[in-house]
Amino acid sequence: MKALEKYKEWLQAPWADEATKAELRAIEGDVEAIRERFEGDLEFGTGGLRGIMGAGTSRMNTYTVRKATQGLANYIIQKGARQRGVALSYDSRNRSEEFAREAALTLCANGIPIHIFETMHPTPMLSFAVRDLGCVAGINITASHNPPEYNGYKAYWEDGAQVTIPDDENIIAQVNAIESFGDAKTMELQAAVDAGLYHIIGPEVDDHYFAELKKLIRHPEAIEKERENIKLVYTPLHGVGLAPAKRILDELGFTKVYVVEEQAQPDGNFPTVSYPNPEDPKAFELALKLARRVEADIIIANDPDADRLGVFLKNGDDFVRLTGNMTGCLLADYEISGVQETRGLSDHSVFISTIVTSNFAGAIARHYGLRFYETLTGFKHICGKLRELELKEPQVDYIYGFEESFGSSFGPYCRDKDGIAAVMALCEAVCYYKTKGMSLWDGLQALYQKLGYYRDINISKNFPGLEGKAKMAAIMDSLRKNPPKNLGGLPVVAVRDYLLKKTLDMATGREGVTDLPQSNVLYFELTDDAWVCLRPSGTEPKIKLYCGVKGDTEAEAAAKEAVMVEELNALMDSF
């Protein structure tokens, strides 16, 4: 069906409310606006939905949410798991609570009981609630760090992780099988309550979550000694992180927590930042101003749904920004060494990361003799690997996992990245290093001196317009057929092609097979523990390049990084 036909269908549909129709009547005759809203559907992908809010088949709205939820409900019923129920949560974004309620009522209309948080909650607490309540699935309404006009819908399965193969593909098939938005069921809220299907999650789930966090503490004596001396500046970036972050820090006795008041209140318009992303240094402008005034030890920002965080550390008279790799590796070393010192590591202890994360992570794992696994990009793959290991080895001991995009996980209690646990862990680490007469920055430098100076770089190349997609495909095809022999001045020793699921030894020409799910990703292993990985973005018209180098000194690593960046930019510009 063409965009104009879809537009007219929505205007006449008995299932569309008057507000939706009024919004659509306002663009009558505007061909481009109609195409933008109705050319294609907002697809239910492997992570759920994400898009600009508004009326239309390609937007996040009541009807796209209901359709996605009806598909999920059909799959739950097909699995015979209706009575186990679904947990739901939402963040501070505009319309998040509304969309969560719409999803809940669609589930209830299908006879599936729901458990929904009464107030906005972080993503990791939804993951925890699925497991704590024994639900078959979970739904979280959030668009993470996207701009204000966006919202999203993340689907979780019974282990508390985002749905993975084969469940994600089966749910997508059920969603795509729904022919009309009017086929998605719904019911009135009071009727759902009266039927015993609509339940509010009580405070006991929060209590269970915070009790699990406290079990993660490696050095309680360090916290007790230094907690009143640590100065922390914290910002939730107008999201949901403040209440849970303050609760855990208050319960542990941290007294000098300075909150960026201009960003403290939940606000889906994100008025003080253009982009509420802790990866963006600009998001820290107000926090840095406060930190310099109070002479803080550390600055932490959670993203709006509080599953990720960014960090600035005190170094001398000013602050240094950590990349996601730096934060993840610093925490990996702290967590693994903490387990080693307290309860000890075993043959069952594991550390999981992704193929686009720093090789520094693997070096840390080797240093501690820890089993280390890499997955495809995305935290659902990290948690999927954990589930795979648990099925084979029930006694597996998951110590830590992280990805370069500022997300960490600290144990099996939660099956998504946890920005609240990361706040706690970083503050504990600051205390620990203070007992050693060191700052957290000193601790990171000591780790570099011990294992080598790893530098990691992300480059994005945009390919806008109708021809952009074709050009990206041509670039990946060219590199796949004719892999470069050198990158960044270093020889390529092996190639991993995750689309064709094969490996190539450049010296011998011997081919092998990859052991990860199929994905349009090329990975080049270089000498000196260097690497380059390319993958087209699934949501934006760009190719993402991830790469890393290692030097014996900081200066050597910086020099290698400069050569790598120059050569990769030249390579991409040559197409």
CATH number for 51: 3.40.120.10
- Classify residue 387: in a domain, yes or no: yes
Summarised one tens digit per residue, pLDDT across range 191-203 is: 999 999 999 999 9
Range name among 104-113, 146-155, 456-465 with the lowest pLDDT average: 456-465
Q: How many structural domains comprise the chain?
A: 3
Choose the final residue of a domain: 450, 469, 504. 450
Same domain assignment for residues 224 and 186: no
Residues tagged active-site: 144
Residue 32 lies in a domain: no
What is the pLDDT, as a whole number, of residue 20?
96
Buried b (16+ CB within 10 A) or exposed e, 335-351: bbbbbbeeeebeeebbb
- Is residue 483 located within the same domain as residue 523? yes
> Same structural domain for residues 52 and 174?
yes
Tokens 């400069």 map to which residue?
562
Distance CA 91, CA 81 (A): 27
For residue 567, is it within any domain?
A: yes
Same domain, 192 and 216: no
Question: In the listed set 450, 478, 513, which residue is the last one of a domain according to the structure?
Answer: 450
Q: CA of 205: how far to CAs of 113, 130, 411, 440, 502, in Å?
A: 17, 10, 17, 33, 45
In this prediction the pTM is: 0.95
Nearest C-alpha neighbor of 116 from the set 80, 150, 140? 140
Q: Are residues 355 and 427 in the same domain?
A: yes
Q: How far is CA 261 from CA 120, 287, 290, 292, 352, in A?
A: 19, 9, 10, 15, 36
In tens, the pLDDT along 464-514 reads 877 888 899 999 999 999 999 999 999 999 999 999 999 999 999 999 999
CA 169, CA 166: separation in Å to the nearest integer? 5
CB 249 within 8 A of CB 257: yes
Q: Do residues 151 and 214 share a domain?
A: no
**Span 311-318, average pLDDT:** 94
Confidence at residue 274, expressed as pLDDT on a 0 to 100 scale: 87
Q: In this structure, which long-range contacts are made by residues 14-19, counting pairs with CB atoms below 8 Å and at least 24 apart in sequence?
A: 14/182, 15/63, 15/180, 15/181, 15/182, 16/63, 16/181, 17/62
| Domain identity same for 441 and 460 | no
Tell me which residue of 236, 251, 48 sits closest to 152, measured CA to CA. 48
CATH number of the domain encompassing residue 460: 3.30.310.50
pLDDT 10s digits, 367-412:
999 999 999 998 999 999 999 999 999 999 999 999 999 999 999 9
Asked whether residue 14 is domain-assigned, the answer is no
Residue after which a domain boundary falls, among 427, 450, 473: 450
Residues 417 and 471 in one domain: no
How many whole angstroms separate alpha carbon 16 and alpha carbon 434? 60
Residue 6 domain-assigned?
no
Residues 425 and 436 in one domain: yes
Q: Is 312 helix (H, G, I), strand (E, B) or coil?
A: strand
Q: pLDDT tens digits for 277-309? A: 999 999 999 999 999 999 999 999 999 999 999
What are 487's strand-pairing partners? Answer: 490
Q: State whether 522 and 457 are in the same domain.
A: yes
Is residue 239 within 8 A of residue 222, CB to CB? The reply is no
Mean pLDDT, the chain, integer: 95
Structural domain range at position 155 = 41-201
Residues 424 and 379 in one domain: yes
Is residue 3, in this structure, part of any structural domain at all? no
Tell me if 182 is assigned to some domain: yes
pLDDT of residue 539: 66
Distance (Å, whole) CA 32 – CA 247 = 48
- Is 509 a domain residue? yes
Same domain, 162 and 238: no
